[in-house]
Amino acid sequence: MKKLNTKLAKVLLVGLCLTSTMLPAQTTTGGKKISSDLFGLFFEDINYSADGGLYAEQVQNRSFEYSPTEQKDWNPYSFWEYTTTGYSYGRISVETNTPIHPNNPHYMVLDVEHIGKEAKFSGVSGVGLTNSGFAGMVVKANERYKFSMFARQLSNLPVSFQVSLQTAKGKVLAETRFTTVSTNWEKYTADLVVSENDENANLVVLAVSEGKVALDVISLFPEKTFKNRPNGLRADLAQLLADMKPRFIRFPGGCLAHGDGLGNMYRWKNTIGPLEQRKEQRNIWGYNQTAGLGYFEFFQFCEDIGAKPLPVLPAAVSCQNSGNTWQIGGTGQRALPLSEMKEYIQEVLDLIEWANGPVTSTWGAKRAAAGHPASFNLQYVGIGNEDKITHEFEIRFKMIFDAVKAKHPEIVVIGTVGPSPDGEDFEKGWKIANDLKIPVVDEHYYTSPEWFISHQNRYDSYKRNATQVYLGEYASWGNKMQNAIAEAAYMTSLERNGDVVRMASYAPLFAKKDYTQWKTDMVFFDNTNVCLTPNYYVQKMFSANQGDYYFSNIISKDEKDANLAVSCVKDSKSGDIILKMVNFGKETKPFKINLGKFGTLSPQAEQTVLTGNADAENTLEKPNSVIPTTTVVKIKNAFDYSAPAMSLTVIRIKAKK
């Protein structure tokens, strides 16, 4: 009895000592415990993924903050056209004297000298501004659009407005009217219900009475955003992410996180609170970021689709490629002065309080004020993005890491090991990880399909019960079937090594047609259409079919054929067994499956197959060249399967109820 108690105590002690980084070596019917957060999403505002993309705002340059630092010919007037109708005239100017908020310094002043009253003009006379959105606004018949604008009357007389959605030829599709009521900044809102479909509409804000008025944050959203959230996301793009059932979403980047020089680092506090108080800034990828899709919206979206939030904060250093120094080997890393580190570390700690703290805490109260009193259950925080591992990086990373660990031991910190699968930064980054016992580090690699096929054993030899891996960015160069299937083969190796590889996310995610800075992406889109690449389908087939136990020896294949890859996982929640078979070869290949060890399973299974020519790909014009097909199949405890050439097959077998 005494012995048993000591044993029990030991077991309990081991259980208590396990940090959140170590996965207990439990088994279910002989399976190996693997990460239940394995496949998730990487989101970065690159290729117009946020503004002009996932973020459903229709007005471009809504706060008159565009600047030549973003694009040489941009300025606060960009994407706005001075508009006069009915022989009216006046002046416009961008001013900065009395902004709504110091974070939002520019606003537009309309000085209307004369409203034309010529009998020969039958339309609405006025002076104002026209915005054509992100290459045209898409509006749908009978749908509601939420207009809002801040105005401050600068003349004694109130100023009246007509706000309308119009076709390119000037046909009014919806309109509203209002009159200013204050010489202070006030928000005016109205719903516009559109009479007909148009993919190229403009928003026209017309002062129709004489006077002087300041305008700012002129905004138009469809009412039908994802889950009808105000300040929400484009429903079709958000839904295709939700369909993937990702376990986490990493945001806001990528290089966007650490920024092009210190002044361009992504500072999360600038991205929360009322829109008019957020700080716009240059996007490292050569445009503007409104921060309208900010930290609150990212966290809310994660919650809406059941994904864990994974914010990545700069490690107090900027991108090594700052100032385009990638051209000479990336020497542009800048580090925050040590004298500013106390404040910066507090900013990191404040994020954790903002996400998880009680409503009575300073930052928890801000989350509650934004409409979310409950905790967001933040579990992961990334520090740094593929930074050059310099001495400056190392001391700052350690300061942040130590502070988070001391104050929030419950948070899993994810470190960084450079931009490549090997090399100097990789080695140095891993040394720091081992020395500091960082729970997880972020590996990145973009390479050829052949590399993915020939490196499927990469993680087999990684140390167990040590620092784990977040494969935060990876892709083979291309969006053809051969790229997607090479990635699928590799993903089976991530499942096999799911006790070491805790998380993985393909990158980048979105790319807007004609606004693409990074060629290989998971989903292409324009204002109305979406193209899901074969890579998307592979990611979805893995992500929506994750398990938390891995089983070897269930699927047999020709072990000498490197083009074949398999994995078998069990989702312990549903009891489902999930088989994945990959054939990167040019011919059909046989696999043998033996499910004997699982006891009684349902005789029916759902089989999804993605197959096509090696060079097949989808485009916005032809989006369905390659799509997976799903059928219900009958299975036995032991059966054979022939995998088509260049294919991924997922068979999901339900536990017998």
Least distance in angstroms from the C-beta of 473 to ligand AHR: 5
- SS3 state at 206: strand
Residue 531 CA: distances (Å) to CA of 134, 305, 535, 621: 19, 21, 11, 8
Token output for 596? 């004997």
> Which residue, 290 or 320, has its beta carbon nearer to ligand AHR?
320
> Which residue, 345 or 507, has its beta carbon nearer to ligand AHR?
507
Token output for 60? 């471009």
Say if CB 256 and CB 285 are below 8 A apart: yes
Q: Which amino acid is at 600?
A: T
* Pairing of the two strands 89-95 and 80-85: unpaired
Token output for 108? 């537009």
> Which residue, 174 or 509, has its beta carbon nearer to ligand AHR?
509
Least distance in angstroms from the C-beta of 517 to ligand AHR: 9
> Rule CB under 6 A: which of 8-37 touch ligand AHR?
none
Cis peptide before 252 (omega within 30 of 0): yes
> Which residue, 518 or 639, has its beta carbon nearer to ligand AHR?
518
206 Cβ neighbours under 8 A, 6+ residues apart:
83, 85, 124, 126, 127, 128, 161, 162, 163, 164
Least distance in angstroms from the C-beta of 242 to ligand AHR: 22
Binding mask 338-377 toward ligand AHR (x if CB under 6 A, else -) reads ----------------------------------------
Q: Which residue is nearest to ligand AHR (CB)?
A: 254
Lateral strand order in the sheet of 248-251: 41-42, 248-251, 308-313, 380-383, 412-416, 440-447, 468-476, 501-506
Say if CB 129 and CB 166 are below 8 A apart: no
Residue 632: is it exposed, middle or buried by C-beta count within 10 angstroms (0-12/13-18/19+)?
Answer: exposed
Least distance in angstroms from the C-beta of 321 to ligand AHR: 8
Q: Which amino acid is at 655?
A: A
Say if CB 401 and CB 387 are below 8 A apart: no
- SS3 state at 271: helix
Q: Which amino acid is at 101?
A: H
Least distance in angstroms from the C-beta of 628 to ligand AHR: 25
> Which residue, 203 or 507, has its beta carbon nearer to ligand AHR?
507
Using CB under 6 A as the binding rule, whether residue 507 contacts ligand AHR is answered as yes
Report, in this order, helix, strand and coil percent for the chain, each rounded to 5. Answer: 25, 30, 45
Stretch that binds ligand AHR, among 122-130, 192-200, 249-257, 363-371 (CB under 6 A): 249-257
Stretch that binds ligand AHR, among 131-139, 191-199, 251-259, 582-590 (CB under 6 A): 251-259
Say if CB 280 and CB 350 are below 8 A apart: no
Least distance in angstroms from the C-beta of 259 to ligand AHR: 11
Stretch that binds ligand AHR, among 82-90, 188-196, 247-255, 624-632 (CB under 6 A): 247-255
> Which residue, 131 or 385, has its beta carbon nearer to ligand AHR?
385
Taking CB under 6 A as the criterion, the residue among 23, 37, 38, 44 binding ligand AHR is 44
Using CB under 6 A as the binding rule, whether residue 487 contacts ligand AHR is answered as no
> Rule CB under 6 A: which of 423-482 touch ligand AHR?
444, 473
Using CB under 6 A as the binding rule, whether residue 46 contacts ligand AHR is answered as yes
Token output for 228? 């009808």
Annotation says 386 is catalytic: yes
Stretch that binds ligand AHR, among 24-32, 61-69, 253-261, 555-563 (CB under 6 A): 253-261
Least distance in angstroms from the C-beta of 587 to ligand AHR: 34
Stretch that binds ligand AHR, among 252-260, 288-296, 458-466, 488-496 (CB under 6 A): 252-260
* Pairing of the two strands 468-476 and 440-447: parallel
- SS3 state at 543: helix
> Which residue, 335 or 507, has its beta carbon nearer to ligand AHR?
507
Taking CB under 6 A as the criterion, the residue among 311, 382, 419, 429 binding ligand AHR is 419
DSSP secondary structure string, 470-499? EEEEEEES--SHHHHHHHHHHHHHHHHTTT
Say if CB 429 and CB 437 are below 8 A apart: no
Residue 267 CA: distances (Å) to CA of 280, 295, 528: 11, 10, 32
> Which residue, 462 or 518, has its beta carbon nearer to ligand AHR?
518
Q: Which amino acid is at 619?
A: T
Residue 375 CA to residue 384 CA, distance in Å, equals 24
> Which residue, 164 or 520, has its beta carbon nearer to ligand AHR?
520
Taking CB under 6 A as the criterion, the residue among 259, 478, 508, 628 binding ligand AHR is 508
- Total chain residues near ligand AHR (CB under 6 A): 13
> Which residue, 382 or 508, has its beta carbon nearer to ligand AHR?
508
From the candidates 44, 57, 70, 386, which is the catalytic residue?
386
Least distance in angstroms from the C-beta of 382 to ligand AHR: 11
Least distance in angstroms from the C-beta of 387 to ligand AHR: 10
Using CB under 6 A as the binding rule, whether residue 40 contacts ligand AHR is answered as no
Using CB under 6 A as the binding rule, whether residue 254 contacts ligand AHR is answered as yes
Least distance in angstroms from the C-beta of 447 to ligand AHR: 12
* Pairing of the two strands 564-570 and 549-551: antiparallel
CA atoms within 13 A on the CB side of 41: 29
Token output for 456? 């499927």
Least distance in angstroms from the C-beta of 459 to ligand AHR: 21
Binding mask 384-403 toward ligand AHR (x if CB under 6 A, else -) reads -xx-----------------
> Rule CB under 6 A: which of 517-536 touch ligand AHR?
518
- SS3 state at 519: coil
Taking CB under 6 A as the criterion, the residue among 253, 292, 294, 439 binding ligand AHR is 253
> Which residue, 64 or 490, has its beta carbon nearer to ligand AHR?
490
Residue 623 CA to residue 200 CA, distance in Å, equals 22
Q: Give the catalytic positions in this structure.
A: 386
Question: Which residues of this chain interact with ligand AHR, rule CB under 6 A?
Answer: 44, 46, 253-255, 385-386, 419, 444, 473, 507-508, 518
